[in-house]
Homo-oligomer: A and B are copies of this chain.
């Protein structure tokens, strides 16, 4: 009888990718449901359908930004798994928390779209958005630490400096978002400007993985 040595053995990555692609695809597509189809009364109240469609421009903007944010998360996820080729039970669990945080974005995004122009609630709406923006970064940092530790889930020749730089980048992103979060209690638009800066940085292509000379099969 073959006794397994290790309960937390390696699994192929394919279904984690299929599941993630599914979840991210749905989260990104649900964003459109947050732009409400107007009822007859809404249109009359706005003074016509043209006016109505013009007045809800913050919803379009929120849709655009949130679609871009989840799209960038997908794109970076794509990149991440060009150098992580296996998973295990613990990595799966942490990864579920990452997806949980990304799927929360349509909620905070809808609140932002609905209340950013409301003087009473715009700060709270922005705070909610900043929290939603910060949440996925935390499990992502844990995922990186877990996968990189002793080259647990990456090739043995993946460059250490490359790995450290990725962790530093994520902490920088988290730090920027926490600043935005603090600012949001006082100045909604200043906070959003910081978030916008973060998104612009995210738009840059991620680092190409660097491997050390001595090739070792993984």
Contacts and interface: CB of A to CB of B under 8 A. Distances in A.
Contacts of A191: none
A29 B99 CA distance: 9
Contacts of A27: 29, 32
Given A21-B18, A26-B25, A34-B37, A211 B2 contact: yes
Contact of A28 (B23, B92, B128, B208): B23
A111 B81 CA distance: 37
Contacts of A72: 93, 96
A29 B21 contact: no
A38 interface: yes
Interface string A108-138: 0011001100101100110110000000000
Interface of A: 1-4, 6-9, 11, 15-19, 21-35, 37-38, 40, 43, 48-50, 53, 63-64, 67-68, 71-72, 74-75, 78-79, 81-82, 88-90, 92-93, 96, 99-100, 103-104, 106-107, 110-111, 114-115, 118, 120-121, 124-125, 127-128, 159, 203, 205-213
The 9 A-B pairs with the shortest beta carbon distances in the complex, nearest first, are A22-B25, A49-B124, A71-B96, A4-B208, A89-B205, A26-B29, A49-B121, A67-B100, A18-B21
- For this chain, the copies found in one complex come to 4
B103 A29 contact: yes
Given A4-B209, A26-B30, A72-B96, 10 more contacts: A2-B213, A11-B78, A15-B78, A19-B74, A22-B25, A30-B33, A37-B111, A67-B99, A75-B89, A78-B92
Contact of A7 (B68, B114, B208): B208
Contacts of A104: 32, 63
Please indicate which of the listed interface residues A49, A81, A128, A208 has the most CB atoms of chain B within 10 Å of its own CB: A49
A92 B75 contact: yes
Contact of A50 (B15, B43, B88, B124): B124
Contact of A38 (B8, B43, B100, B111): B111
B38 A82 contact: no
